[in-house]
Amino acid sequence: MSSPQPVRGTHDLLPEDFRLHAHVRDTARDIAACFGYGEMATPIFEFTEVFARTMGETSDVVSKEMYSFESRSGESMTLRPEYTAGICRSFISNGLQQNVPFKAFACGPMFRYERPQKGRQRQFHQIDLECIGAAEAKADIEVIAVAAAILQKLDVLKLCNLQINTLGDAESRDAYRTALVDYFNDHKDKLSEDSLARLGRNPLRILDSKDKGDQVLVADAPVFTDYLNAYSTDFFAEVLEGLTVHGIPYEVNRRLVRGLDYYTHTAFEFVTDALGAQGAVIAGGRYDGLIEMLGGKPTPGIGWAGGMERLCLLTETTPEEIRPIAVIPVGDAAEQVTTKLAHELRLQGIAIEMAFKGNPGKRMKRANKLNAKAAILIGEDEMARDACTFRNLDAGTQEEIPLADLSAKIADLG
């Protein structure tokens, strides 16, 4: 193997791929802006603590998927595996309690040491939306509405299905967790190996087990709704009602739980069956305890993250490349004139293709390959008259026009 390969689980985004990538990102950013979410960015790496403390030491991400390293100063750093913790850290660091609700959009690369598959990479990209400092169910509704709007705009909402559940507040969740652990402890011998491990790490996950034996046990397990206190029940009802008002279809999935420790109340996922085992396209929830875990004042928050690669896989249409106009010198004497003209047009914001070499025939071929709208040819004849030959490459027609009329001519092309 003589040619260098990219690191496992990483991918190059060539210009063709990047157009789609940028389209997804821009669409998300524009819609987020309409809802009042301004774009921000946080560093790609943080102190390991930021992720370890918030996501939970026992979570898969923290226990085996982080790219951590020791800096020269001896501190443990980690390439971010998600955006939420970093943004919350930033919220605290910058004293943004003054600005609540703090509504932010972000996107960028994330890193997780996982086994690569389609729609799952070690370096991948997420779009992310956070609303910090709002305890109202209206915030949950808005955040989900933004996600739905983005999927709608990308024309992939039809491939997705919104699953939603509540994990209740800390009190409800702890009570339920205790009941669940007690129940499964009594039936330990019947649990699958996977679920036995889950019992220690994240017992709620057992509810979602695909193992047939587990499912039998789950059927008789304590039911979450019995443990939700009045506040949690009412809160969830309000969220669902809001979704209905927005015309966003959903499906309550009582087995939907989250892998990360910081989630409370609303948990949701836009899932698809078009990507094999990687069903989650946009997923998130409420994290009322997170800011406090990071050392801030108790502050509620809700947000989501979306996988850009997965969104790109679902999106069928790649936007067209900008169609340039080719400037073609005919003969060496015209080089200077065309170079200057190309530069002036580019400064006007017009996409100009001008090859570095080649006779007019080659340059025309190249213009055609690049899907140019038109070609501007200038040789000695045209120079003598301060004119150019303007060829419409779609129509196949051409005419000589004064250089002074060129800008108007180009504008006419649209």
Partner RNA sequence: GCGAAUGUAGCUCAGUUGGUUAGAGCGCCUGACUGUGACUCAGGAGGUCGCCGGUUCGAUCCCGGUCAUUCGCCCCA
User: Residue 9 or residue 238: which is nearer to RNA going by CB?
Assistant: 9
User: Angle CA(155)–CA(121)–CA(265) in degrees, nearest 5?
Assistant: 65
List, in order, residues 6 or more apart from 73 with CB less than 8 Å away. none
The rounded distance, in Å, linking the Cα atoms of 155 and 166 is 28
User: Residue 48 or residue 392: which is nearer to RNA going by CB?
Assistant: 392
State in angstroms the smallest separation of the CB of 230 from RNA.
28
User: Residue 202 or residue 232: which is nearer to RNA going by CB?
Assistant: 202
56 and 260 Cβ atoms separated by less than 8 Å: yes
93 to 42, 241, 244: CA distances (angstroms)? 11, 35, 37
State in angstroms the smallest separation of the CB of 91 from RNA.
18
User: Residue 79 or residue 305: which is nearer to RNA going by CB?
Assistant: 305
What does the block give as tokens for 46? 């943080």
State in angstroms the smallest separation of the CB of 373 from RNA.
9
* Token pair 């009570």: residue: 175
The rounded distance, in Å, linking the Cα atoms of 167 and 204 is 10
State in angstroms the smallest separation of the CB of 231 from RNA.
25
User: Residue 13 or residue 100: which is nearer to RNA going by CB?
Assistant: 13
What does the block give as tokens for 378? 């200038």
User: Residue 72 or residue 357: which is nearer to RNA going by CB?
Assistant: 357
Query: Contact residues for RNA (CB under 7 A)?
Result: 1-2, 5, 8-9, 59-61, 82, 112, 114-121, 124, 126, 194, 198, 202, 205, 208-211, 258-260, 269, 276-284, 305-307, 309-310, 330-331, 359-362, 364-365, 367-369, 375, 377, 379-382, 389, 391, 393-394, 396, 398
State in angstroms the smallest separation of the CB of 276 from RNA.
3
The rounded distance, in Å, linking the Cα atoms of 63 and 272 is 27
User: Residue 97 or residue 278: which is nearer to RNA going by CB?
Assistant: 278
389 to 238, 344, 350, 397: CA distances (angstroms)? 67, 17, 18, 10
DSSP β-ladder status, 251-252 and 160-166 = parallel
State in angstroms the smallest separation of the CB of 282 from RNA.
6
State in angstroms the smallest separation of the CB of 140 from RNA.
17
Q: What share of the chain is helix, strand, coil (3-state, %, to 5)?
A: 45, 20, 35
